[in-house]
Amino acid sequence: MAASAMAQEHRRPAIDKQERMARAQWQPVRTVQNEEPSEPLAGELVPEEVPARLEGREQWSETEQWQQAAPTPGGEVMLEPFYGGGMEDFGPMACDAMACDAMGCDSPGCGVRGCNDCRGGAACGWRPCVTLCFPRSGWVSFEYLLWYQDGMDLPPLVTRSPNDIAEVDAGVRGTRGLEVLFGDDEYLTDSLNGGRLRVGLWLDACQTWAVEGEFFSTATEEVSFSQTSGGQPVLGRPFYDLVNGQERAELIAFPGRIAGTVSVHADTQLQGGGVSFRRLLAQGDGCGDTFFANVPAAYTHRLDGLIGYRFVELDDSVTIHEDLTTLDTPGNFDVTDRFESRSQFNGVDFGASYRRARGCWTLDLLAKLAIGTTRQTVNISGSTTRDQPAVETADGGILALPGANIGRFKRDRFSVVPELGATLGYQLTDHLRATVGYTFIYWSNVVRAGDQIDLDINPNLIPFSGQTGGPARPDFTFVDSDYWVQGISFGGEYRW
């Protein structure tokens, strides 16, 4: 007997280990029904009393069952709910420990475990209450934008020459010691600060159809330059003289001849938005290892198709102003050239968005392509005022001249506007999520104000020059280019 008892003691650890392994992989399940108890089979574990939450339940759903758990140290056997379908291949307890509700109804559509509970058991259907009362479910998000854009190219607008330069060579491109003070470079490349607002509403109880509106706008980015001289240093505004066929310059400051101040201001501003319908294309859930550790974790994912309307608008301007005083003969001149451009895109937008949620973390990927037309508008104006022998104002400056390029010009061009985005989110509460993201937008066939400036002019058209004749130049011709903007964003999203 002693030998038999020792043999049983040696076998017990192996049996207990096998039972624990079997319990982790599979547990017997039986449906609880409202019927008279039968005689228990030999060796069957039976709870002493049914939990209170079972009372009054005539029938359980096909997926909601009660499984017999392992006995507690006190010998009591408890019944635990088990939702079948979808996770049993990974083991019923593999993904139970979730920091957040990754299996909620925001990600999956109909037919996913737990969706009936989220909508209170209501059947899938449309929601006519969207415009008559507060929407039942939706989302709103706001992001701070820190973007960078493709800069504006400007020709050489203000130059400085050595003080001992001859008057005929002052400010002229290609002469000795010439320095470009402003222009001949790309400007407005600093960061664009702005904001983006998105609002969406689910149109059906299963969250398979939605409508979303978006609007973003950046603050006006600007750059300014100003230089004053009483004659030294020598300042000028270069151009090409089409009448005489040579490089020349209009003098801003030269010893004994003229003194003045020249300033240049350029700015740009971008905004856009649209509305789109969202349709669930595919969804699912599963359990997999985490990235940093071999620990199983539950996740959900969904793929939505998008189609809608999109608009984008880009506004640029360049203004050149001179305040001059002649030194050899009394007289003051005020000269202004202004170039404005506007690009307005309208088109059909379609694409897809993908969301993957694991615990408190979410990753959203976006790819869209808008196809449509861009209305290009360019407005060129100029004026010159003198006070001797009397105060007079005439149309035209130096680079904007009457009978040549002054006016308002419009045309339409075919354009495409693709957009790529990625957003990483962290669930702070059941409804609030913090986000950080990246956006890239490309836009074909836009007009920039700097590209519309032509340095080939007829100096006889300059107001109060006292000359006539020659070609109507600068001649206006649309010059378009491609544009891009990209950057990061920080914000939050609220879902209800």
Residues 368-379: tens digit of each pLDDT: 999 999 999 999
86-90, 167-171, 300-304, 379-383: least confident range:
86-90
Count up the domains in the chain and report the number.
1
Average the pLDDT over 80-91 and give the result: 39
* Top-confidence residue, 330 or 460: 460
Residue 460 CB neighbours (<10 A): 16
Q: What is the pLDDT of residue 126?
A: 55
- 376 domain-assigned: yes
The pTM score is 0.74
Model pLDDT, residue 468: 85
Residue 293 confidence class, pLDDT cut points 50, 70, 90: low
Could you report the per-residue pLDDT of 163-219, keeping only the tens digit for each?
999 999 999 999 999 999 999 999 999 889 999 999 999 998 888 999 999 999 999
Residue type, 75: G
| CA–CA distances in Å: residue 301 to residues 104, 131, 148, 283, 362 | 11, 29, 31, 6, 9
Over 70: is that where the pLDDT of 74 sits?
no
**Domain assignment present for 249:** yes
* pLDDT of 399 above 90: yes
- What integer best gives the mean pLDDT of the chain? 81
Question: Phi, psi (5° rounding) for residue 164?
Answer: -95, 15
Give the residue among 336, 416, 426, 308 at the shortest CA–CA distance from 370. 416
pLDDT at residue 10 greater than cutoff 70: no
The reply to whether 11 falls in a domain is no
220 domain-assigned: yes
Residues facing residue 235 across a β-bridge: 160, 253
In a domain, 14, yes or no: no
Element (H, E) at 12: helix 2-25
Structural domain includes residue 23: no
- Residue 269 included in any domain: yes
411 versus 67: the higher-pLDDT residue is 411
For residue 27, pLDDT over 70 is answered with no
Rounded mean pLDDT, 288-295: 60
Q: Which domain does 312 fall in, by range?
A: 138-495
Q: State residue 424's pLDDT score.
A: 97
Least confident of 265-269, 281-285, 394-398, 464-468: 464-468
What is the rounded CA–CA span in Å between residue 140 and residue 123? 25
Range of weakest confidence among 34-38, 297-301, 430-434, 476-480: 34-38
pLDDT at 299: 86
Instruction: Give the amino acid at 15.
Output: I
In this structure, is residue 398 part of a structural domain?
Answer: yes
